[in-house]
Structure 1
């Protein structure tokens, strides 16, 4: 069963620039789906369509439908979407630098009224991310990039989401921290059943944790399938994984070739 469905979405910025062109995506209930693509392909725009954060950037959905848990949510504002169980971790972490890790977590609990439950959620986050508990006396602005990313994910989880949108969680992190972040993403999905839509340029890491994936190029989905199918496709290997130069046009469900990737 699909928890999230995007059907033929088109997005225009400033009433002029068509950034996303007929995109359709599904995220199953409890699934872990990756959205891959180069810089500027439209990945972050798609996440903002889902979370409702297009308007501040003068973006507008001009066509299509976004359904979450069986309901059309395009008319809902971002706070209401969070209350329905959808949360977005933006690129660049965006933690409250003047607050401690615990204060950052508490800032995401306005929807909760039970203080005992809030305390339990904080303890769960510190158990999931022990490094945050160790650094709890420090201001978030003094945390390392990896620690800030952990805090951003933990803060999102404080809302108890059904679906978490992650935008470039590995951006700017050392390789060992990337492994740690992706192990945590896999654990969150497996243990809590929280669905994940993961936007990444690091195709190797993303396809290692995802169950299925989509590839977006110039605002269009050009390839989709299981993670294993995409990893084995020679074009994916050449453009993203540094592998074969052979082209297989039939190894994935959808694929339309218009030009040589990244030429």
Structure 2
């Protein structure tokens, strides 16, 4: 059963620039879905159309439907979407640098009225992310990039979401940290049943944990399928998985210039 469905969604900025062009995707309950694509392909815009964060950037869903748990959510404000069970971890982590990890977690707990429940959630986050427990008294601004990413995910989980959306969680991190964070995300999906929509340029890491995926380019879905099907596709492998064939760099440069002109 689908938890989240986007049907032929278009997103326009300033009612002029069409950034997303007829995107349709589904995230099943307890599913882990990757949305892959190059920088500027429209991945983050898709996530913002779901969480309701387009308006501050003068964007809007100009066409299509977004339903969550069978409910049309396009008319809902972002806080109402959070209360429904949607959590969005933005690109760049964006933790509160002047607060400790615990204070960051408490800042996301205002929707819960039971203090005992909030305390139990904080304890659960420190169990899930032991590095945060070790740095509990440090200001979040002094945490490493990987620790800040863990804190951003933990803060989102404080809302007890049904769907966790992650925007480029591997950005700027060392490979061993990427592996650690992705293992944690897979564990959250498997043990808690939280569905995950993972936006990534690191297709290798994403497809290792995802059940299925979509490939987006220039605002359009070009391909979809199981993680195994996408990973074995030669075009995907060459463009996103570091294919081993000899690359004609002159042709690559020409292709990139042509893409810029066509865009």
- TM bin, normalised by shorter chain, reads over 0.9
CA root-mean-square deviation: 1.5
Give deviations 1:155-193, integer Å, cap 9, x for gaps.
Answer: 000000000000000000011000000000000000000
1:109 equivalenced with 2:109 (yes/no): yes
Distance 1:72 1:146 in 2: 35
- Paired residue secondary structure (2:173): coil
Distance 1:74 1:103 in 2: 31
Runs of 5+ consecutive residues of structure 2 not aligned to the other structure: 246-253, 259-263
Distance 2:41 2:139 in 1: 35
Distance 2:76 2:228 in 1: 35
Distance 2:144 2:137 in 1: 14
Instruction: Give runs of aligned pairs for residues 61-140 of structure 1, distance below 5 A.
Output: 61-140=61-140
- Normalising by structure 2, we get a TM-score of 0.93
Distance 1:261 1:42 in 2: 17
Distance 1:103 1:201 in 2: 31
- 1:34: how far off? 0.1
Distance 2:105 2:257 in 1: 40
Distance 1:210 1:152 in 2: 20
Distance 2:255 2:180 in 1: 34
Q: 1:262/1:182 Cα in 2 relative to 1: closer, same or farther (>3 Å)?
A: farther
Q: Which residue of 2 aligns with 1:48?
A: 48
Q: Which residue of 1 aligns with 2:26?
A: 26
Q: Which residue of 2 aligns with 1:248?
A: none
- Normalising by structure 1, we get a TM-score of 0.93
Give deviations 1:198-254, integer Å, cap 9, x for gaps.
Answer: 000000000000000000000000000000000000001100112266xxxxxxxxx
1:173 equivalenced with 2:173 (yes/no): yes
Distance 1:130 1:62 in 2: 43
Q: How many residues end up aligned between the 2 structures?
A: 251
Q: Which residue of 2 aligns with 1:154?
A: 154
Runs of 5+ consecutive residues of structure 1 not aligned to the other structure: 246-258
User: Which structure shows the higher helix fraction?
Assistant: 2
- 1:15: how far off? 1.3
Distance 1:168 1:26 in 2: 19
Q: Does the Cα contact within 8 Å between 1:239 and 1:262 map onto a contact in 2?
A: no
Moved over 2 A (4+): 259-263
- Paired residue secondary structure (1:45): helix
Distance 2:62 2:197 in 1: 22
Q: Which residue of 2 aligns with 1:203?
A: 203
Q: Which residue of 2 aligns with 1:254?
A: none
